């Protein structure tokens, strides 16, 4: 190359980029992305409000429209059924949140802005940790609204405050596992319009073939067994036990250890979903 160049204008010295440790960078960037996701929710509130609308509708439909008809010996009348129902509604709300998480992740990975994130010295984990953290904060808010709604319709926790906090803790652990299911689904499904829709046919049977509405012994053989071992049932049963609400009883081992299972199931789900989600994320657009 023989061409000559004008000497470049003297460059103002640029401070050497700070190189904070990996962990502090991951934390700061995770927080920046959490704020971004929360701002999204605040600036387009339709989606979070709709997500909350579904469990509230279920309280009305199952608690009042079907309430008297769905009561069973374990619950007594409609009031008892509503106390029986509320823990199930909490868990349903967390289950359907998979859709919001998956849609958010899928939209992020199809947006052009991901290109800029990748061209920056950003902790790659921040996209996922920011999503998970923002979803957990949303889950706290949703839980508070649902607790308020439950108190309005006559649901109470009958046990100690510590047990009630433990019940909420199990609920949030389940939500955390669902967040990672959503992250994985969002990463493997490239079309954000589709991913929100595929969650419902997956979540609906999981929500219904469980102890949420009906004791398993009232279901036909196989369905009853599925309902007993359903992770949703374990979380619902554990919350009923800790809240002191009417439960479904049952003699099986899984029915007798709901709290243990409500810890083990989410951990198992996390063990299955997190590694492939991370691998998928690292391989995005390679």
DSSP single-letter state for residue 112? T
**Does residue number 20 form part of the binding site for other proteins (CB under 8 A)?**
yes
Other Cβ atoms less than 10 A from the Cβ of 93: the count is: 24
CB nearer other proteins, residue 116 or residue 156:
116
CB nearer other proteins, residue 1 or residue 152:
1
As a whole number of Å, the CA-based R_g of the chain is 23
Report how far apart, in Å, the C-alpha atoms of 149 and of each of 42, 145, 164, 166 are: 22, 6, 16, 20
Contacts of 129 (CB under 8 A, 6+ apart): 26, 30, 33, 34
Can you say whether the dihedral through the CA atoms of 102, 104, 108, 110 is positive or negative?
A: positive
Specify the 3-state DSSP secondary structure of 252: coil
Residue with tokens 């401070």: 15
CB nearer other proteins, residue 20 or residue 276:
20
When binding is defined by CB under 8 A, the residue of 32, 49, 194, 279 that contacts other proteins is: 32
Residue with tokens 């992250």: 183
Q: Measured between alpha carbons, how far is 223 from 232 in angstroms, rounded to an integer?
A: 14
When binding is defined by CB under 8 A, the residue of 40, 72, 257, 280 that contacts other proteins is: 40
Closest alpha carbon to 261 in 235, 282, 224: 235
**Does residue number 280 form part of the binding site for other proteins (CB under 8 A)?**
no
**Does residue number 46 form part of the binding site for other proteins (CB under 8 A)?**
no
**Does residue number 161 form part of the binding site for other proteins (CB under 8 A)?**
no
Least separation, in Å, of the C-beta of 132 and other proteins?
18
When binding is defined by CB under 8 A, the residue of 36, 72, 257, 280 that contacts other proteins is: 36
Least separation, in Å, of the C-beta of 104 and other proteins?
11
**Does residue number 78 form part of the binding site for other proteins (CB under 8 A)?**
no
Q: Measured between alpha carbons, how far is 108 from 102 in angstroms, rounded to an integer?
A: 10
Count of residues in contact with other proteins, rule CB under 8 A:
38
Other Cβ atoms less than 10 A from the Cβ of 143: the count is: 17
Stretch that binds other proteins, among 26-34, 150-158, 163-171, 245-253 (CB under 8 A): 26-34
CB nearer other proteins, residue 15 or residue 162:
15
**Does residue number 283 form part of the binding site for other proteins (CB under 8 A)?**
no
CB nearer other proteins, residue 47 or residue 79:
47
Stretch that binds other proteins, among 39-47, 70-78, 238-246, 274-282 (CB under 8 A): 39-47
CB nearer other proteins, residue 70 or residue 114:
114
Q: Is 38 exposed, middle or buried (0-12, 13-18, 19+ CB in 10 A)?
A: middle
When binding is defined by CB under 8 A, the residue of 21, 23, 43, 148 that contacts other proteins is: 43
> Under rule CB under 8 A, which residues in 86-145 are in contact with other proteins?
111-122, 126
Q: Is the distance from CB of 98 to CB of 207 less than 8 angstroms? A: no
Q: Measured between alpha carbons, how far is 246 from 166 in angstroms, rounded to an integer?
A: 17
- Contacts with other proteins by CB under 8 A lie at 1, 3, 5-12, 14, 17-18, 20, 28-29, 32, 35-36, 39-40, 43-44, 111-122, 126, 285-286
């Amino acid at each position: 190359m023989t061409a000559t160049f004008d000497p470049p204008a003297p460059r103002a010295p640029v401070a050497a980029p700070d190189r904070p440790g990996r962990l502090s960078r991951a934390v700061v960037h995770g927080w920046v992305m959490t704020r971004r996701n929360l701002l999204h929710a605040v600036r387009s509130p339709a989606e979070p409000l709709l997500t909350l609308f579904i469990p509230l509708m279920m309280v009305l439909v199952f608690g009042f429209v079907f309430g008297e008809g769905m009561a069973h010996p374990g619950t007594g009348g409609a009031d008892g059924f509503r106390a029986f129902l509320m823990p199930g509604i909490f868990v349903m709300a967390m289950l359907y949140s998979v859709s919001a998480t998956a849609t958010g992740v899928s939209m992020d990975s199809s947006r052009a802005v991901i290109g800029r994130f990748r061209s920056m010295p950003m902790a790659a984990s921040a996209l996922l940790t920011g999503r998970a953290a923002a979803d957990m904060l949303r889950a706290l808010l949703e839980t508070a609204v649902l607790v308020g709604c439950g108190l309005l319709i006559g649901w109470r926790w009958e046990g100690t405050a510590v047990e009630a906090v433990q019940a909420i803790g199990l609920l949030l652990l389940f939500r955390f596992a669902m967040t990672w299911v959503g992250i994985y689904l969002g990463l493997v499904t490239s079309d954000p319009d589709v991913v929100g829709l595929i969650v419902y046919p997956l979540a609906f049977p999981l929500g219904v073939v469980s102890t949420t509405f009906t004791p398993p012994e009232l279901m036909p053989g196989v369905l009853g067994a599925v309902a007993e071992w359903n992770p949703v049932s374990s979380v619902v049963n554990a919350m009923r036990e800790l809240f002191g609400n009417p439960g479904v009883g049952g003699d099986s081992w899984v029915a007798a250890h709901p709290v243990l299972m409500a810890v083990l199931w989410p951990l198992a789900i996390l063990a299955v979903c997190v590694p492939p989600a991370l691998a998928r994320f690292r391989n995005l657009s390679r």
